């Protein structure tokens, strides 16, 4: 009996390790891995369906102070550039959902629960927050983490505006022809 329990434990550890090795983690310069999740409002998010748009994928949690610090910048940037082809999904590592719903009431970008992602080729991030930027062509263009590149409105603008075809100081929307 004891030997069967040990064998089961070894098999479980092997399977868990094999699953993480098989995941298609994001790599800058490579096509983005697949990601599908049901947002808190019930809409389906499918990264593949967002091809042609610039997409921010943000892994966060309510208990994470760096996450909470960067959320206003992410929200302001999303609101400003969403009409220009910017999409975003926040994937919360929280449990239960209630805390996430409370936090997201003041923010405008879509959120899903990391555990509820149907397909998550990004895997579980090594640290939270981790934010990925995917270009219109579906290729991973940048990774933001507190120890490498922090999320600020300035760093988002420098990284994402060129992908949107805008200059860092450009207004959110283009003016009609003949207007300044």
Domain 23-164: give its CATH architecture.
Answer: 3-Layer(aba) Sandwich (3.40)
In the predicted structure, residue 5 carries a pLDDT above the cut 70 = no
In the predicted structure, residue 90 carries a pLDDT above the cut 90 = yes
Cβ atoms of 142 and 149 closer than 8 Å = yes
In the predicted structure, residue 26 carries a pLDDT above the cut 80 = yes
More confident position, 21 or 51: 51
Q: What is the pLDDT of residues 16-25, one digit of tens each?
A: 333 333 334 8
> What does the pLDDT read at residue 11?
35
Cβ atoms of 45 and 36 closer than 8 Å = yes
Q: What is the pLDDT of residues 94-145, one digit of tens each?
A: 886 667 877 787 789 999 999 889 999 999 888 999 999 999 999 999 999 9
In the predicted structure, residue 170 carries a pLDDT above the cut 70 = no
> What does the pLDDT read at residue 169?
54
Q: Token pair for residue 171?
A: 């207004």
Q: Token pair for residue 152?
A: 């600020």
> What does the pLDDT read at residue 10?
34
Residue with tokens 């990391």: 114
Share of the chain above pLDDT 70, in %: 78
Predicted confidence band at 157 (pLDDT cuts at 50, 70, 90)? very high
> What does the pLDDT read at residue 149?
94
> What does the pLDDT read at residue 44?
96
Cβ atoms of 90 and 112 closer than 8 Å = yes
Tell me the domain boundaries of the chain. 23-164
φ/ψ (deg, to 5) at 159: -85, -45
């Amino acid at each position: 009996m004891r030997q069967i329990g040990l064998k089961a434990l070894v098999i479980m550890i092997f399977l868990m390790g094999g699953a993480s090795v098989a995941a298609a983690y994001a790599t800058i310069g490579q096509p983005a891995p697949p990601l599908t999740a049901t947002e808190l409002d019930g809409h389906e998010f499918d990264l593949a369906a967002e091809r042609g748009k610039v997409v921010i994928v943000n892994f966060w949690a309510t208990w994470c102070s760096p996450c909470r610090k960067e959320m206003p910048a992410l929200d302001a940037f999303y609101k400003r550039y969403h009409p220009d082809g910017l999409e975003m999904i926040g994937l919360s590592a929280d449990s239960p959902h209630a805390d996430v719903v409370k936090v997201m009431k003041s923010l405008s970008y879509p959120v899903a629960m990391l555990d509820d992602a149907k397909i998550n080729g990004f895997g579980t991030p090594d640290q939270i927050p981790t934010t990925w930027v995917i270009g219109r062509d579906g290729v991973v263009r940048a990774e933001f983490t507190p120890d490498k590149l922090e999320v600020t409105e300035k760093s988002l603008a420098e990284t994402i505006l060129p992908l949107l075809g805008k200059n860092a100081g450009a207004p959110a929307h283009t003016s009609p022809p003949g207007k300044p």
